[in-house]
Amino acid sequence: MCLKAPSGDLHSVYRPLICLVLQGAKRLIVGNEERVFSSGQSVLVSADMPVTGRVVQASQSEPYLAIAVELEVALLRELTAHIDTPARSALQRCLRYSPSTPKPHCSIAHHGCCTEPHVASH
């Protein structure tokens, strides 16, 4: 996903995926919970989930950049069967994030790939 300006709300259903925010920031709302994911953070969605998203940090010189890879549900089920986790809210069970260190450097915008924004549903 590449956007050169903040966006309006986008309502969608996220499929199981892992996403790395390379630059900028996006706000996600799931039910009553809200979280902002920014450069260097990753997100793991482990189940189909309705979300409202909005890119909140993006510009011509530093567009919002994120890479999302959809995951196979059967593989997720197999992996989660081996993980013992405490009780969590719906957002905490289905949407995980973690900071990445060090902050990733991305030169994609400098090579012209953001001239035509590609917007996926993630």
**Edge-to-edge strand ranges of the sheet holding 49-57:** 10-14, 49-57, 25-30, 33-38
- State the pLDDT at residue 95: 62
Cα distances from 5 to residues 8, 16, 58, 81, in angstroms, run 10, 26, 5, 41
pLDDT in tens, 25-64: 999 999 899 999 999 998 888 889 999 999 999 999 999 9
Q: How many residues does the chain have?
A: 122
pTM: 0.63
Alpha-carbon distance of 19 to 82, in angstroms, equals: 23
- State the pLDDT at residue 121: 45
- State the pLDDT at residue 109: 38
Confidence band (pLDDT; 50, 70, 90) for 107?
A: very low
